[in-house]
Amino acid sequence: MSEGLASLLLPAMIIILLAFLFWSQRRRQHAISSLQESLGVGDDICTTSGLFGRIVALDEVTATLEIASGTQVRFDRRAVATKVDVSGRPIAGAGGQLPAEPPARPQTRDTADAPITDTEK
């Protein structure tokens, strides 16, 4: 009897794994589509390549971003990764959640104008 149960265990595990993969992919697609639907002119965003800008024009395919005063670039609308606030902090990502906080960077001093000391030679 245990041999029959063991032969059913492997296919059941494969079916559960496939179901989980389909479920997570569907959830991700739903989050991306809800982000795309919520985009509007005037939103501050970050693209998938890390470019920050404000949407100045939006159509079905492209988003025109103002990345600096008077500088506009066109991006594929699908390249919008997150909405951000004015300071550049993410409001919500494609998963609909706030991303984890990045680790704090250690403070370093600007050595471009500092004279070289004996210990730095």
Q: What is the mean pLDDT of residues 80-92?
A: 79
Distance CA 19, CA 27 (A): 12
Read off the pLDDT of residues 15-70 as tens digits, 9 standing for 90 and up: 999 999 999 999 999 988 888 888 999 999 999 999 999 999 999 999 999 999 99
| Contacts with 99 (C-beta within 8 Å, 6 or more apart), sequence order | 82, 90, 93
Is 111's pLDDT higher than 60? no
- Radius of gyration of the chain from its Cα atoms, rounded to whole angstroms: 24
CA distances from 27 to 6, 32, 77 (A): 32, 9, 20
Map residue 23 onto helix, strand or coil.
Answer: helix
Q: Which domains are present in the chain?
A: 2-95 (2.30.30.30)
